[in-house]
Structure 1
Amino acid sequence: MTTYNWGMIGTGVIAHEMADALNAVNGSIYGVTAVNAEQTQQFATEKHIQHVYPNAEAMIADANIDIIYIATPHTFHYDYIKKALNAGKHVLAEKAITVNAKQFDEVQALAHEKGLILTEGLTLFHMPIYQKVQDLIASGKLGDINMVQVNFGSLKDYDPTNRFFNKDLAGGALLDIGGYATAFARSFLNSQPNVTLTTVKFFETGVDEQSGIILKNPEQQMAVMALSLRAKQPKRGVVSGTKGYVEINNYPRATEALVTYTEDAHSSHTETLTAGNSDLALQYEVQDMQRYIEVGHDDGQLAMSRDVSHIMDDVRNAWGMKFPFD
C-alpha cells in the first residue's frame, strides 16, 4: 500500500488519538500545525512528527504533503478545507465537516472539480460491524425497514464560556454530537428524509441544549432522535423491520449488533453479530481514507455526509436557530 504524507491542523483531544492512529497505520506523520506554538512543538515531539509549521497556510503549501487532517473547532473547517483542496491536497475533516449545508455543498463541488478525496471523520462510516448489518438487511431477514431510533446524550459541565455552548463556535448538541445520530439514522433509511418535525430546549447562550427530532422520507420510513448536552444517555441505535430489529450500543464505535427476529408472533430468537475493534476506530478511518485515494472514489461516504449536513440544516431552520456565519 502507498504511504501518504499527512499534515495535521489542530492538537486537541481527537488529534492526539488520530496521531496515534496515523503512526500505527503509516509509521510516521509528516507535519503538524496549531495556534499555540509551544503546545504544537510538544505535540510533535510526543507523536514523533517530522515537521512543525508556523501556520496552516505554510503546511498546506508544502508540496510533500498529500492529505490534510483538520481537527479544529467547526467554524474553521470550511476555510481550511477550501485552502487545502485548492492546493491539491486530499482532506479528512472532523465532524461536523462544515457548519451548514451551503458550506458543505461548496466544498463538495470543489473536491469534485479538483478530483480530490474529501471525507468527514465520522467513525461509524468506517466500523466493520456496519457492513455486516447492511448485509443482513439486504438479505431480507429483517423484512422491510420501517423505523430507526437513535440517542446521543452527553453531560457537559455547566459552563456558558465553553465551546460546546458558544454560538460563535457553532456550539450546541446538534453539531457536536448530533452528526453521529443523524449519520446513523440516514445510513438505514432508503432515501433522504423530506419531512422534519422537531422541538428544542435552548441553552442560555442560544444554542441547542437538547432536542427531539423526527424524520420521514418519501418511502414513509421514519427516524426518531434524542440529543442532549446536559443529560447523559446511552449511545444506542435500533433499526426495526417487519421481521425483526437490530440493537447497536455505543454505535459511533460499535463492534457488536444484537439481532432479534420477530416474524413468529409467539416466539423470537436472537443472534449477535460481531466485527472490528473499537480501539482501532480511527485506524479504520485512516485506512479507508488512503484506500479512497488509491481507488479514486469514497464509496459514497461524502454523499452520505451531504445528506447529514442538509438534515441538520433543516432541523436548525425548524428551530429558527441561526449562527452568526449562516
Structure 2
Amino acid sequence: MTAQVNYKWATLGTGVIANELAQALEAMGSKLYSVANRTYDKGLAFAQKYGIEKVYQEIDEVFEDPEVDIIYISTPHNTHITYLRKALAAGKHVLCEKSITLNSQELEEAIQLAEENKVVLAEAMTIFHMPIYRGLAEIVQSGKLGQLKMIQMNFGSYKDYDMTNRFFNKKLAGGALLDIGVYALSFVRWFMSETPTQVVSQVKLAPTGVDEQVGILLSNDAGEMATIALTLHAKQPKRGTIAYDKGYIELYEYPRGQKAVITYTEDGSQEIIEAGETARALSYEVEDMEKAVAGHENTMHLAYTRDVMAIMTKLRQDWGLIYPEEE
C-alpha cells in the first residue's frame, strides 16, 4: 500500500458491500476500526464476524468519534445525503457507495461541504479503480485505435418481480438507473473525451413507478455517441464495446473487469489486455481512497461522478420519476 498512514475506517451499514470492505482490508493486512448500523444487534454480529473493536449504540456516534478517519457509507441510496451531511460536517473523509446521492442538487451540497471541511468525498465506483481501465486509457491515449465513434453498453439483471424488494421500491430509491445504470454511464464517461451534451431515452416503468427497463442514447460535442440498454427483469451480458475507427475494445463483466479484447479494423487481428483481479475490486478502491486522503494522488474521479449524476438527474426529470425525498 502506497499510503504510510494506518487510517481508521468505519463502515456505515453491514450489507454485502460492507462485508467485502472488511474482507478487502483484511487482505491488505488491516481491518475495519468500527461499525455503525441502524440496528445495533446487526452491527454487533458484524463486528464479531470480523474482529472489529468498536460498535456504536447509536448510528450517529460514528460521526462524533475522533478516532475515525474515513467512513464508507453503504446504506440505501435515499439515505446517503443525510449521512453525507453529518460525516462531512464532522470532518470525516467519505467513500460512499453508488449512487452517491439521488440527484445533482444533493451531490453539489455534499461537494460544497467536503470543500468547506477540507476532506475527500468520493463515490465507490469500481470502474474508476480497476487496473484494466487505466491500462485501456493508456492505449486509447496513444492514438493507436484512432478516434472514438460509438460505445455500446448492456446491463441486465433478473430480479424477482416482487414490488416490495429494494430494486422496485420507490421509498428505497429503486429502479434500474441508480442501481445498474450508474455503472454503464460511468463506463461511457470514462471513455468519452468530453461529457455528453445530448441525452434522449425510452423507459418502461414498473407498477411501483420506478424505472424497470431503459434505453439511453448519448452524444457529445466531439461527435462521440453511446447507447445503453438496462433491465431489471431480464438477464443480459454485462458487456461494453468501445468502437474506434481503427479498432474496437470488448469487455465482459465490466464493472469489475480484468480482461479486454481489442480487435483491429485493418486486419482483424486481436490483442488481449489483462490487468488487475476481479476479486480485489474493493482493495483497489480502498488503496486509491487512502492515497487521496494522504494527498499523494487523487484518482477518485469526482468530476466524472458529477457528470454521471447530472445525466441521471436529467433522465429522471424527463421520465417524471421523483422519489419521496425529492417531493
Please state which band the TM-score falls in when normalised by the shorter chain. Answer: over 0.9
Alignment match of 1:87 (pick from 79, 86, 90): 90
Q: Which residue of 1 aligns with 2:214?
A: 211
Q: Contact (CA 8 Å) 1:117, 1:298: kept in 2 or not?
A: no
1:247-266 correspondence to structure 2 within 5 Å: 247-262=250-265, 264=266
1:57-96 correspondence to structure 2 within 5 Å: 57-96=60-99
Q: Contact (CA 8 Å) 2:289, 2:300: kept in 1 or not?
A: no
Q: Contact (CA 8 Å) 2:123, 2:300: kept in 1 or not?
A: no
Tell me how large the CA RMSD over aligned residues is: 1.1
CA distance in 1, matches of 2:225, 2:112: 29
CA distance in 1, matches of 2:297, 2:57: 32
Q: Which residue of 2 aligns with 1:170?
A: 173
Is 2:323 aligned against 1:320?
no
CA distance in 2, matches of 1:6, 1:100: 26
Q: TM-score, normalised by structure 1?
A: 0.97
Is 2:315 aligned against 1:294?
no
Shift of 1:296: 5.8
Aligned identity (percent) is: 47
Is 2:146 aligned against 1:146?
no
1:112-127 correspondence to structure 2 within 5 Å: 112-127=115-130
1:52-105 Cα shifts (integer Å, max 9, x gaps)? 001221111000000011010011111111111111100000000001111011
Comparing 291-300 with 159-168, which one deviates more in the overlay? 291-300
Q: Which amino acid aligns with 2:48?
A: T
1:1-326 correspondence to structure 2 within 5 Å: 1-262=4-265, 264=266, 267-295=267-295, 298-299=298-299, 301-326=301-326
Tell me the secondary structure at the aligned position of residue 212 of structure 2.
Answer: strand
CA distance in 1, matches of 2:258, 2:99: 23
CA distance in 2, matches of 1:91, 1:300: 11
CA distance in 1, matches of 2:268, 2:166: 46
Q: Which amino acid aligns with 1:315?
A: L
Q: Rate the CA distance shift 1:313–1:281 in 2: closer, same or farther, 3 A.
A: same
Tell me the secondary structure at the aligned position of residue 271 of structure 2.
Answer: strand
1:207-227 Cα shifts (integer Å, max 9, x gaps)? 000100001111121110001
1:292-322 Cα shifts (integer Å, max 9, x gaps)? 1112652361111011100111111221211
Tell me the secondary structure at the aligned position of residue 233 of structure 1.
Answer: strand
Q: TM-score, normalised by structure 2?
A: 0.97
Q: Contact (CA 8 Å) 1:191, 1:218: kept in 2 or not?
A: yes
CA distance in 1, matches of 2:70, 2:280: 20
Shift of 1:242: 0.7
Tell me the secondary structure at the aligned position of residue 251 of structure 2.
Answer: strand
The runs of at least 4 consecutive aligned structure 1 residues that moved more than 4 Å come to: none
Aligned pair count? 323
Shift of 1:24: 2.0
CA distance in 2, matches of 1:68, 1:55: 15
1:218-267 Cα shifts (integer Å, max 9, x gaps)? 112111000110011111101111100100111100001100110x2xx3
Tell me the secondary structure at the aligned position of residue 325 of structure 1.
Answer: helix
Comparing 234-243 with 113-122, which one deviates more in the overlay? 113-122
Shift of 1:25: 2.1
Tell me the secondary structure at the aligned position of residue 161 of structure 2.
Answer: coil
